[in-house]
Amino acid sequence: MAHLAARIEQQVSSPENAGMAAAWLKAILARLIKESAVAVLQVCLTLYFLFYFLRDRVRVLKAIRSFLPLSESDNETLFSRVNDTVHATLYGMLALSALQGLLGGLMFWWLGVPSPWFWALVAAVFAFVPVLDTFVLWLPAAVYLGLEGRWGEALGVAALGSLLVRAIENFLYPALVRDRLRVPSVSIFVSLVGGLLLFG
Query: pLDDT tens digits, residue range 12-50?
Result: 555 666 667 677 778 888 888 888 888 789 889 988 988
- Cα distances (Å, whole numbers) of residue 107 to 60, 93, 99, 110: 46, 21, 12, 5
pLDDT of residue 48: 92
Q: Chain-wide mean pLDDT for the chain?
A: 76
In the predicted model, what is the mean pLDDT of residues 164-183? 68
Instruction: Band the pLDDT of 57: cuts 50, 70, 90.
Output: confident
**Amino acid at the residue 17:** N
- How far is Cα 128 from Cα 134, in angstroms, rounded to an integer? 9
3-state secondary structure at position 188: helix
Instruction: Band the pLDDT of 102: cuts 50, 70, 90.
Output: confident
Query: pLDDT tens digits, residue range 127-162?
Result: 777 656 666 667 777 777 777 777 777 787 777 777
In the predicted model, what is the mean pLDDT of residues 84-110? 80
- How far is Cα 177 from Cα 128, in angstroms, rounded to an integer? 16
Measured in Å, how far apart are the chain's first and last C-alpha atoms?
Answer: 34
In the predicted model, what is the mean pLDDT of residues 173-193? 69
pLDDT of residue 178: 67
In the predicted model, what is the mean pLDDT of residues 85-90? 79
Task: Answer whether 134's CB lies under 8 Å from 161's CB.
Answer: yes
Query: pLDDT tens digits, residue range 3-13?
Result: 666 666 665 55
